[in-house]
Amino acid sequence: MRRYLVAFVLCLLAGRGLIAGDAQAQSYPDRPVRVIVPFPAGGLADAVARIVGQKVGEALGQNFVVENRTGASGTLGAALAANAAPDGYTLLITTGDFMTMQGLMPRLSFDPYTALTPITMLAVAPLLLVANPASGIRSVKDLVAAAKARPGAVAYSSPGVGTINHLATEAIAIAEGIKLLHVPYRGGAPAATAVAAGDVAIGAMTQSSAAGLIQAGKVNVVAFMTKQRPSFAPDWPIVADSGVDIDMALWVGLFAPAGTPATIVDKLDTEATKVLKTEDLRKQLNALGTDASPLSQAAFAKRIRDDAGRYAIVIEKTGLRPPQQ
């Protein structure tokens, strides 16, 4: 009888937990939600966060307020989100460099695989290689010639050490047998501005970071750093046209602190996926040089792990090391 009584009490408690979780999900959110973006305003993650955050907020009847917290290649803002209360009121929208390329990142104060819960992959953007018009670099062949004439002197910008932009440019250097000078910046927009100002000759960035500068003629598009030209993009070259076999694209995802109730995570996943499938939002993202690419929790987690394995091989081949080593 005692065993039956214990089992009954446990079932009752579990049922109350489920009811409480359901009630929590139904009332969520009942106040504004903070969305941390660990990069400056104007970059891809920031733009996606503001577009998707507004739409999800409208669907859920609350404001999703974007907060830019920059530094350490995006890891400072990510750490802030990871250490926040797991109640659904602090979320993270970011690129995945600190998860997929930990071997190149500054030392992390948290384990991204245990401290953060992947909710939804939101968008994927192919990287662009752009150049300052005065550099004379119009193609990958021009870049190779310039770098061979001045080994280690041709500088390039990226949004930070350990970002995919950094790795993509080094992959070209390895493939072509050249040496380039890496100059990291605190985000995609500053990295693009550095190319336009002539502080560096070239840069690897998303189309959203460089769009205004491209239209103004302040930077030239050298090539997409992918194997295929995106269907929504202008008719620009791809690096494969010059025989370079790399395929570098940047994803942006939505995360919550680990321990956030599954009912809330599921609700955010459902609503984000719904808005990403609307034609209006897809057009807005296409205009930024990216594509709405919803992947729900399990599939998104697998994408993160797969990318980490793929990039680890590239890092090993390039011989790159984080700054402190």
322: in domain: no
196: in domain: yes
Contact assessment for residue 308 and residue 164, using Cβ atoms and an 8 Å cutoff: no
Pair (86, 190) in one structural domain: no
Of residues 126 and 14, the one with the higher pLDDT is 126
CATH code, domain carrying 52 = 3.40.190.150
The confidence score (pLDDT) of residue 8 equals 47
Short-list 106, 56, 27, 104, CA closest to 254? 56
Pair (63, 120) in one structural domain: yes
The confidence score (pLDDT) of residue 49 equals 97
For the segment 47-72, the average pLDDT, to the nearest whole number, is 96
- Count helices and strands in the chain by DSSP H and E runs: 12, 10
CATH code, domain carrying 218 = 3.40.190.10
Q: For residue 220, is it left (φ>0), alpha (ψ between -120 and 50) or beta?
A: beta
For the segment 289-317, the average pLDDT, to the nearest whole number, is 90
Of residues 323 and 124, the one with the higher pLDDT is 124
DSSP characters for 175-195? HHT---EEEE-SSHHHHHHHH
For the segment 41-54, the average pLDDT, to the nearest whole number, is 92
Each residue's pLDDT tens digit, 79-117: 999 999 999 999 999 998 888 887 777 678 899 999 999
2: in domain: no
The confidence score (pLDDT) of residue 22 equals 61
Each residue's pLDDT tens digit, 139-179: 999 999 999 999 999 999 998 777 889 889 998 998 899 99
The confidence score (pLDDT) of residue 29 equals 98
- Residue 183: pLDDT over 80: yes
Pair (179, 79) in one structural domain: no
CA–CA dist 193, 213 (Å, integer): 8
- The number of domains in the chain is 2
Could you tell me the residue range of the domain that residue 184 belongs to? Answer: 126-248
- Residue 264: pLDDT over 50: yes
23: in domain: no
* Greatest mean pLDDT among 33-42, 61-70, 163-172, 310-319: 61-70
What pTM was estimated for this model as a whole? 0.80
* Greatest mean pLDDT among 124-128, 129-133, 290-294: 129-133
3-state SS, one letter per residue, for 77-127: HHHHHHCCCCCCCEEEEEECHHHHCHHHCCCCCCCHHHHEEEEEEEEEEEE
The set of residues, in sequence order, having a beta carbon less than 8 Å from that of 110 and lying 6+ positions away, is 78, 79, 82, 83
Each residue's pLDDT tens digit, 229-260: 887 888 899 998 889 988 888 899 999 999 99
201: in domain: yes
Of residues 27 and 6, the one with the higher pLDDT is 27
265: in domain: yes
237: in domain: yes
The secondary structure element, H or E, covering residue 294 is: strand 291-295
10: in domain: no
- Point out the least confidently predicted range of 7-11, 20-24, 123-127, 222-226: 7-11
| Domain closes at, from 224, 248, 272 | 248
CA–CA dist 64, 215 (Å, integer): 31
| Domain closes at, from 212, 228, 248 | 248
Pair (133, 233) in one structural domain: yes
- Residue 6: pLDDT over 80: no
Pair (109, 164) in one structural domain: no
